[in-house]
Structure 1
Amino acid sequence: MIRTFIAVELDPSFGEKIRQIQERFSDFDLKFVNPEIVHITLKFLGDIEESMVKPLEEALDSLMCEPFEARIEGLGVFPKPSNPKVLWLGATGNFETLHADVETLLKPFKFKGEDRAFTAHATLARVKTLSKDQKSAFADILNELKDTRLGSMQVNKVLLKKSTLTPYGPIYETLHTVYLD
């Protein structure tokens, strides 16, 4: 079994800005995502048999979404500011269409659906614990950075990725690349 997901990688030029944002939250008990591997997940597939990789590649090769420009901007948390569990960067562009296209192509595989609506975002950190006092300080920094703008990027490919979890963080490997045209 291999752990897999479908994603759009962020432009590598955003790495330093991501690092700077993460640095602002370094006083809190967070598990940061390495800036080099921050991405937008379109669909988490979970553990699959290796024999499913080829059929998934073939299905994804039928993506109809055209390339589009995306803006990476805005900082927020899930599920809500009073109880932050995930710190994320927002993404705007044609992600809803791309996500819907991926969902449609994967329907025959019967992957588990999401309980919540798709929101294009890139996870920067997972919140481990925050005391009451820290929640206020965390919210202040979040509010100060909420309108952060990293810039624009071209979304012209979608990746099927393998994730290997290690004590030092996940290691990602691209299994298949689909170029949008």
Structure 2
Amino acid sequence: MIRLFTALEIPDEVAEKLIPLQRGLEGARWIERSDFHITLRFIGDVPEDIADDIDEALSDIPVYPFEVELEGLGEFGGKHPHTLYAGVKPSDPLTILQGRHESAMRRVGLKPETRNFTPHVTIARLGRVETGAVYDFIRANSPFAAPSFTVERFTLFSAKASTGGGPYVAEKYYPDFGWVNESED
């Protein structure tokens, strides 16, 4: 079994805007910079042979360059916040790409995702952080925005079977341009 998800990677210039947020909230478990991403589709634990089918389905998804912009901070969990995140400005290209991932996973035979797509970058897991402290943190760090960036590919990641799942491993990029041997002229 392998735990998989698809996502967009966060470029360094955007990550540099997220990192300063990662302080001042006692008890938060901050996400490593290398694990910042925007999840397109959580796939979950699948057998290796299904992973091959997933790879094939993902290979058929076209990717056309589009802009993504982070804006705002939020939490998941309501009265009992468990995740702190930077929001992603809604865009049609992002919604379309995510929908293609959902359709591809259904064709492979996976159950539909039951949660609404809320694009975001998780910056902390909150565990036992007090609710008031979370909302105070969001207010103190708002408004938040980061430079837009161009998406030209998405990534299939694997994760450890644990809470939080990181560190994540990039298994494959789509579109797959193949290996480039830079030593050849």
Calculate the TM-score normalised by the size of structure 2.
0.84
Does the Cα contact within 8 Å between 1:65 and 1:101 map onto a contact in 2?
no
- Who is 2:41 aligned against? 43
- Who is 2:12 aligned against? 12
Structure 1 letter corresponding to 2:66: F
Matches within 5 A, 1:46-125: 46-80=44-78, 82-92=79-89, 93=91, 94-125=93-124
Does the Cα contact within 8 Å between 2:61 and 2:100 map onto a contact in 1?
yes
- Structure 1: stretches of 5+ with no match in the other structure: none
The CA RMSD over aligned residues, in Å, is 2.2
CA change 1:10–1:55 in 2 (3 A) is same
Secondary structure of 2:148's counterpart equals strand
Please give the per-residue CA displacement for 1:32-57, whole angstroms capped at 9, x wherever unaligned: 11022110111111111122232212
Aligned counterparts of 2:53 and 2:161: Cα–Cα separation in 1 = 24
Aligned counterparts of 1:74 and 1:99: Cα–Cα separation in 2 = 21
Secondary structure of 1:147's counterpart equals coil
Aligned counterparts of 1:38 and 1:79: Cα–Cα separation in 2 = 20
- The structure where strand makes up a greater share of residues is 1
- Percent identity, aligned pairs only, is 28
Aligned counterparts of 1:50 and 1:62: Cα–Cα separation in 2 = 19
CA change 1:144–1:164 in 2 (3 A) is same
- Who is 1:137 aligned against? 133
Deviation, 1:95, is 1.7
- Who is 1:147 aligned against? 143
Does the Cα contact within 8 Å between 2:10 and 2:38 map onto a contact in 1?
yes
- Who is 2:179 aligned against? none
Aligned counterparts of 1:89 and 1:167: Cα–Cα separation in 2 = 20
Aligned counterparts of 1:73 and 1:159: Cα–Cα separation in 2 = 22
Please give the per-residue CA displacement for 1:73-128, whole angstroms capped at 9, x wherever unaligned: 21100132x43111011112322111101111121223233332101111111111
- Kindly tell me the number of residue pairs found equivalent between the two proteins: 174
Secondary structure of 1:151's counterpart equals coil
- Structure 2: stretches of 5+ with no match in the other structure: 177-185
Calculate the TM-score normalised by the size of structure 1.
0.86
Stretches of 4+ aligned residues off by more than 4 angstroms? 165-169
Aligned counterparts of 1:51 and 1:91: Cα–Cα separation in 2 = 33
